[in-house]
Amino acid sequence: MSSNSIAKPFDNREQFNLVIVGHVDHGKSTVIGRLLSDTNSLPDGKLEAVRERCRRNSKPFEYAFLLDALKDEQEQGITIDSARCFFKSGNRDYIITDAPGHVEFLRNMITGASRADAALLVIDAAEGVMENSRRHGFILSLLGIRQVSVLVNKMDLVKYDLKVLEKIKEEFGAFLEKIGVKPASFIPICAREGENIVRRAEWHDGKTVLEQINDFSAHEELDNKPFRLPIQGVYKFTEEDDQRRIFAGNVETGTASIGDDVIFYPSKKKTKIASIEVFSAKEKKTISAGEAVGVTLADELYVRPGEIMTKSSDISPRVGTRLRVQLFWMGRSPMIKGKRYKLKIASSRTSTFLSSIEKVLDASDFSMSFAKSQIDRHDVATCVIESIRPISFDLPTEIAGTGRLVIVDRYEIAGAGIVLGGAMDSKSIFDEHVEKREERWETSELTSEQRALRFGHKPKFILITGRNEERSKRIGMMLEARLFDEDYHVYYLGIANLDFGMDQDVEEKEEERAERIRRLGELSRIMTDSGQIFITAIGELDPHEIRIIRKLNAPGEILVVSLSQDSDTVSEADINLNENDDEVNSIRKICERLSIEKVIEDYVI
């Protein structure tokens, strides 16, 4: 469709997302082209323009050309991206996606299908069920798409023999049943001739394709589900002394209104909705599923992108670091243990590792393996993955948008699937790492006791954290100077020295924050092993991040100083300082604690 035609929003009618999938060259694009043409949904002159282009290029006209969104697709004759278009029937407005069928572009197919309410799966009557037909069926199952109709295309090539239809129905129907998909219908069609697309052929007495998609039920009433607003970004505007901090995202499910009590997960921070902000729209008091919105909060909270806002009165999402998942792997390289991947659930982005593999299924022949040590391309695996920070999720049977996941490897989508639930607690990746690291740690001939005797103090890592990072830095540097004047071996590390040194290869993104935390923890282990008092100051950490640093610093000792008394850090801090304390008083309290713990001698002002 032309850019002008797709720029106009639909009227206030029911909208329905439909995806068409199937093996390459089985006729998906032709089906869509016929739907657009036969429902009079094409822009004026579009059909004639495509016919004329084909005439000039001495190329036979095909309805599939109406969907060719990419120049490469026209040259190669295959759909390589997910082309979207729109058409209307008497019942509703459709957003229809032509997902690529070629095996090399499965990730594009998943992107196209991820938001669908229903699917049409196209099979060539002459070629029959192909391996990629099964893969696409499995992906629809993984994405939780239960409304599926199978279109048996190119019936003209088998001389309209309905026995061919029955054979495909028996074979593919049995396959779909095994993976939990019950097709609404098997419709024999000849898309090129428009038979049984909109117009019923004389040789068929069942539904047409248009009748079937009109019969698909609209997506569940998402407004009646628990409220879920994954936070995509936090914005602050300074023009005209505007002090608002707007938390923006797309509402997955449920409704919320100004004044509602809300909780963010996984941080569990609580507040109320103060206002609802919508770009270029009238003031709103309520938001509902499908809306892109921003909200301001009654309290000043530090909430990171990736958290999920929920209503206090609703069922809360699950939270964990170890997830049992079912995963379809598409990566060029196999998924292996010990390698870092990026996990995406809703708006959350975090690093993750493969922890264990329960079983691996070959989607083409349903053979099962319980002994694989890696997940190969096109495998369907039930496995456990572990993220390096807590992540919020729902089961896809409850809320699809917060129960589906994507795994990224080297900037490409390599896996997609669903969360089956939380996994039983086991040794975390950090616990296992620390154990292995300590087993291989090369110790000096000098003992920690000898160093303490020479230096006149025990080693300690002093971690100062708070919202006011500049104040934290001042206290850290002043503490270093005070201890240095007392002849202690002390070193203050400015966190910027890490950012532009050891961490220069780490991107400035929220999802890479965990890697920065890991490196700080590893460095603290080295510094405390040298016998020094090691000090650094960093912006506000959450409890999980502090626990990770403690683990990585072990067996070294750490003193966590929080400068934000109303933050989550308080629960993991060893000292909670009043934000109104001056720097001198703050340093006195820290030194008193060091004296109590026998790190330094009795502290006297």
Residue 86 has pLDDT above 90, yes or no: no
Is 431 domain-assigned?
no
Give the confidence band of 367 by pLDDT, cuts at 50, 70, 90: confident
> Considering only 128-137, 463-472, 512-521, 529-538, which range has the smallest mean pLDDT?
512-521
Is 74 domain-assigned?
yes
Residue 464 has pLDDT above 90, yes or no: yes
Residue 75 has pLDDT above 50, yes or no: no
The residue among 423 and 426 whose pLDDT is bigger is 423
Give the confidence band of 388 by pLDDT, cuts at 50, 70, 90: confident
pLDDT in tens, 242-300: 777 899 999 999 999 999 999 999 989 999 999 998 877 678 899 998 888 999 999 88
Angle at 250 between CA 248 and CA 255, to 5 degrees: 100
Residue 362 has pLDDT above 90, yes or no: no
Percent of the chain predicted with pLDDT > 70: 86
Cβ–Cβ under 8 Å, residues 466 and 562: yes
Q: What is the pLDDT of residue 83?
A: 52
Give the confidence band of 164 by pLDDT, cuts at 50, 70, 90: very high
The domain that contains 578 carries what CATH number? Answer: 3.40.50.300
Cβ atoms within 10 Å of 277's Cβ, excluding its own: 16
Instruction: At 110, list the tokens.
Output: 């998943």
The rounded distance, in Å, linking the Cα atoms of 28 and 130 is 14
Residue 49 has pLDDT above 90, yes or no: no
Q: Across residues 531-551, what is the average pLDDT?
A: 91
Q: Across residues 13-26, what is the average pLDDT?
A: 83
Domain boundary among 255, 280, 311: 311
Residue 536 has pLDDT above 50, yes or no: yes
Residue 518 has pLDDT above 90, yes or no: no
Is 388 domain-assigned?
yes
Supply the pTM of this predicted model. 0.74
Residue entry with tokens 């095996």:
103
Q: Which one-letter amino acid corresponds to residue 319?
A: V
Percent of the chain predicted with pLDDT > 90: 48
Give the confidence band of 508 by pLDDT, cuts at 50, 70, 90: low
Instruction: At 338, list the tokens.
Output: 């010990």
> Considering only 77-86, 239-248, 557-566, which range has the smallest mean pLDDT?
77-86
How do beta strands 318-329 and 379-393 pair?
A: antiparallel
Cβ–Cβ under 8 Å, residues 583 and 478: yes
Residues 380, 307 share a domain: no
Instruction: At 587, list the tokens.
Output: 């340093």
Residue 544 has pLDDT above 60, yes or no: yes
Residues 404, 467 share a domain: no
Domain boundary among 260, 286, 311: 311
The domain containing residue 338 runs over which residues?
A: 318-425
pLDDT in tens, 466-494: 888 889 999 999 999 999 999 999 999 98
Residue 42 has pLDDT above 80, yes or no: no
Give the confidence band of 178 by pLDDT, cuts at 50, 70, 90: confident
Residue 501 has pLDDT above 80, yes or no: no
Q: What is the pLDDT of residue 566?
A: 62
Helix or strand (DSSP H, E) at 76:
helix 71-76
Q: Across residues 30-53, what is the average pLDDT?
A: 80
Residues 246, 388 share a domain: no
Q: What Rg, from alpha-carbon coordinates, does the chain have?
A: 30
Is 29 domain-assigned?
yes
Give the confidence band of 310 by pLDDT, cuts at 50, 70, 90: very high
SS3 260: coil
Q: What is the pLDDT of residue 25?
A: 86
Helix or strand (DSSP H, E) at 482:
helix 469-485
Is 603 domain-assigned?
no
Give the confidence band of 111 by pLDDT, cuts at 50, 70, 90: low
Q: What is the pLDDT of residue 541?
A: 87
Give the confidence band of 107 by pLDDT, cuts at 50, 70, 90: low
The rounded distance, in Å, linking the Cα atoms of 169 and 224 is 36
Q: Across residues 55-61, what is the average pLDDT?
A: 79
Q: What is the pLDDT of residue 601?
A: 80
Query: What is the number of residues in the chain?
Result: 605
Q: Domains in the chain: how many in total?
A: 4
Q: What is the pLDDT of residue 507?
A: 62
Is 496 domain-assigned?
yes
Q: Across residues 495-500, what is the average pLDDT?
A: 79
The rounded distance, in Å, linking the Cα atoms of 337 and 333 is 12
pLDDT in tens, 581-593: 789 999 999 999 9
Residues 565, 463 share a domain: yes
Q: Across residues 125-146, what is the average pLDDT?
A: 86
Residue 108 has pLDDT above 90, yes or no: no
Three-class SS of 409-463: ECCEEEEEEEEEEECCCCCCHHHHHHHHHHHHCCCCCCCHHHHHHHHCCCCEEEE
Residues 260, 113 share a domain: no
Domain boundary among 390, 425, 460: 425
Q: What is the pLDDT of residue 203?
A: 94
Q: What is the pLDDT of residue 113?
A: 57
The residue among 7 and 268 whose pLDDT is bigger is 268
Strands laid side by side in the 308-311 sheet: 229-230, 308-311, 261-265, 269-277, 292-297, 245-250, 233-236
SS3 188: strand
Is 367 domain-assigned?
yes
The rounded distance, in Å, linking the Cα atoms of 313 and 221 is 19
- Provide CB contacts within 8 A for 217, sequence distance 6+: 147
DSSP structure class, residue 390: E
Residues 159, 41 share a domain: yes
Residues 462, 419 share a domain: no
The rounded distance, in Å, linking the Cα atoms of 402 and 405 is 8
Q: What is the pLDDT of residue 423?
A: 86
The domain that contains 240 carries what CATH number? Answer: 2.40.30.10
Give the confidence band of 96 by pLDDT, cuts at 50, 70, 90: confident
Cβ atoms within 10 Å of 426's Cβ, excluding its own: 13
Cβ–Cβ under 8 Å, residues 574 and 593: yes
Residues 325, 299 share a domain: no
Q: What is the pLDDT of residue 109?
A: 53
Residues 548, 415 share a domain: no
Give the confidence band of 503 by pLDDT, cuts at 50, 70, 90: low
Q: What is the pLDDT of residue 71?
A: 34
Q: Across residues 450-462, what is the average pLDDT?
A: 94
The rounded distance, in Å, linking the Cα atoms of 398 and 294 is 24
Is 434 domain-assigned?
no
Q: What integer best gives the mean pLDDT of the chain?
A: 84
Residue 64 has pLDDT above 80, yes or no: no
Residue 237 has pLDDT above 90, yes or no: no
Residues 189, 166 share a domain: yes
Residues 375, 420 share a domain: yes
Q: What are phi and psi of 474, to 5 degrees?
A: -60, -45
Q: What is the pLDDT of residue 36?
A: 83
Residues 164, 102 share a domain: yes
